[in-house]
Structure 1
Amino acid sequence: MGSLRRVVLIDDDQINNFVCETIIKNNNFANEVLSFEWAEDAVAFLSKVSQETPENFPDLIFLDINMPGMDGWSFIDEYRKLPEEITNKCCLFMLSSAVDRKDVITAKNMQEVKDFFSKPLSPEILDFIKDEFISE
């Protein structure tokens, strides 16, 4: 059994989502992993869950920055509209191949974003998150 119930991946890259899902499952990091290739779909899902079954809101979200349609920054604007008592229980991390220093600084200065990681996701990143952000 993983230490988290549900992790959500938001990234337009199918292969990256598959790799992330595999790493998360192989490291028993979470019981369930949901992937969204479109941030708009993730917002709709999170909005519905927050209204209908808030206990099923994800424990953690990995969010890419550069995506077609709604990008990571626009996703965060929408995420802020969700009930704070629910989002406060969720750890949101940027996971991006973006290497622009401004993006990293912007992300780390956002209250909603716990940290910024460069792709690819690794077992070491999961261990760091467990150690720093998840209470057993």
Structure 2
Amino acid sequence: MSVLKKVMLIDDDQVNNFVCESIIKSEHFAEEVVSYEMAEDALEYLKGAAANNPGAFPDLIFLDINMPGMDGWSFIDEYRKLPEEITKQCSLFMLSSAVDRKDIICAKSMAEVKDFFSKPLSPEILSFIKDEFIAI
């Protein structure tokens, strides 16, 4: 049985999304994984879900920082505009190859961001999230 219903990946790296999806599924972490290579597209999906079908909103989001177009920081600025009664049910984590200490500190200082993890996603990271952030 899966831990979560839906996980969303937002990363411009298609290979990373494939690897993350494979790990999430093999660890039975989520029933469904949706991935977006453009943060703008993910945001449009989230806006639609918030307005029309809150049950389609993901339980957890893994967000990259450095992406073309809308980056992770800009995504968070827009994510904050979504209804809080819906976003508070979703755990947002940064998953990035960025190792700039300022990025890590900034991410961890944001109320919306539960934690920052360096790529690649691993079963250990999922286990940590399950133990520390998900009430089962």
Amino acid in the other structure paired with 1:100:
D
Q: Which runs of 5+ in 2 are unaligned?
A: none
SS of residue in 2 equivalent to 1:93: strand
What is the rounded CA distance, in whole Å, between the counterparts of 2:5 and 2:34 in structure 1?
Answer: 11
What is the rounded CA distance, in whole Å, between the counterparts of 1:55 and 1:85 in structure 2?
Answer: 12
Amino acid in the other structure paired with 1:20:
C
Where does residue 64 of structure 2 map in the other structure? 64
Q: What TM-score does the superposition give when structure 1 sets the normalisation length?
A: 0.99
Q: Which runs of 4+ in 1 moved over 4 A?
A: none
Q: What TM-score does the superposition give when structure 2 sets the normalisation length?
A: 0.99
What is the rounded CA distance, in whole Å, between the counterparts of 1:66 and 1:111 in structure 2?
Answer: 20
1:3 aligns with 2:6: no
1:28 aligns with 2:28: yes
SS of residue in 2 equivalent to 1:99: coil
The RMSD of aligned alpha carbons is 0.4
SS of residue in 2 equivalent to 1:69: coil
What is the rounded CA distance, in whole Å, between the counterparts of 1:19 and 1:29 in structure 2?
Answer: 14
Deviation at 1:43, TM superposition (A): 0.3
SS of residue in 1 equivalent to 2:51: helix
Deviation string for 1:22-64 (max 9, x for gaps)? 0000000000000000000000000000000112210000000
Q: Percent identity?
A: 74
Deviation at 1:74, TM superposition (A): 0.2
What is the rounded CA distance, in whole Å, between the counterparts of 2:109 and 2:89 in structure 1?
Answer: 19
Where does residue 75 of structure 2 map in the other structure? 75
What is the rounded CA distance, in whole Å, between the counterparts of 1:71 and 1:81 in structure 2?
Answer: 16
Task: Decide which moves more: 47-56 or 23-32.
Answer: 47-56
For residues 1-136 of structure 1, the aligned pairs below 5 Å read 1-136=1-136
Amino acid in the other structure paired with 2:109:
N
Amino acid in the other structure paired with 1:132:
E
- What is the total number of aligned residue pairs between the two structures? 136
